[in-house]
Structure 1
Amino acid sequence: MGRQTEHRAPGNPRRSPERQGESREQPTEVGPVSAHTVIRCADWAITPDTTAEAPPLLHEMACTTCGDLSGTNEDFEKTRDWAFRHAGRNPSHTGYREIIHRSWRATLVR
């Protein structure tokens, strides 16, 4: 039979029965708490940031043989051209990894 584990928020000093004999850890500081603090569970969604002020999507290529990077560019064709030039100069470098730099935004689901 598996043992049940109780998960607690940082700073909660209560111990599970199997840990009662162990030395007591100091609570972790979480931050200031006042009479106006509200702590609750919430559902969040995270999606690509499509707002007007979001940074542009950037492309980058990495050679998996030597680790050289193309540098970031908004235009994928320029990034891919770097990989073609790199492969042309280094015929044994045939593997590449695309790296996409995309901003994401977390929003509270109501």
Structure 2
Amino acid sequence: MTAAARRRFAFVDWTLRPDRDDDAPPTTYAFRCLTLTEDDTECAAMSPASEDPTEPQTWVFDHMREHPEHTGYAELIERPWVMWPGRPS
């Protein structure tokens, strides 16, 4: 085996963690309407995403005022995560 054919491998432990760095994207919140319509499809109306979790909750009440039969919702939380080589400190 020649020197050029030799290879070294470094094994690295990876850690997955929420990205809380200053430059990380913000965590955002939204709600989606789950109520089935007359044709058995999901309404799927969705609030705007917000960094303030109470703003999408306000949208739910507004949506239900317009559609009193729409009572099922899902909260959608988008939280950035990051992979780091090595063990956490």
Per the normalisation by structure 2, the TM-score is 0.74
Shift of 1:97: 0.4
Residue 94 of structure 1 corresponds to which residue in structure 2? Answer: 71
1:108 aligns with 2:74: no
Structure 1: stretches of 5+ with no match in the other structure: 1-33
Residue 57 of structure 2 corresponds to which residue in structure 1? Answer: 80
Letter of the 2:66 counterpart: R
Partner secondary structure for residue 78 of structure 1 = helix
Cα distance in 2, alignment partners of residues 91 and 41 from structure 1? 57
Of 34, 46, 54, 1:64 maps to 34
Shift of 1:109: 2.4
RMSD: 2.1
Larger Rg: 1
Question: Sequence identity of aligned pairs in percent?
Answer: 35
Aligned length: 77
Residue 9 of structure 1 corresponds to which residue in structure 2? Answer: none
Cα distance in 1, alignment partners of residues 47 and 7 from structure 2? 47
Per the normalisation by structure 1, the TM-score is 0.61
Structure 2: stretches of 5+ with no match in the other structure: 36-42
Structure 1 stretches of 4+ with a deviation exceeding 4 A read 34-41
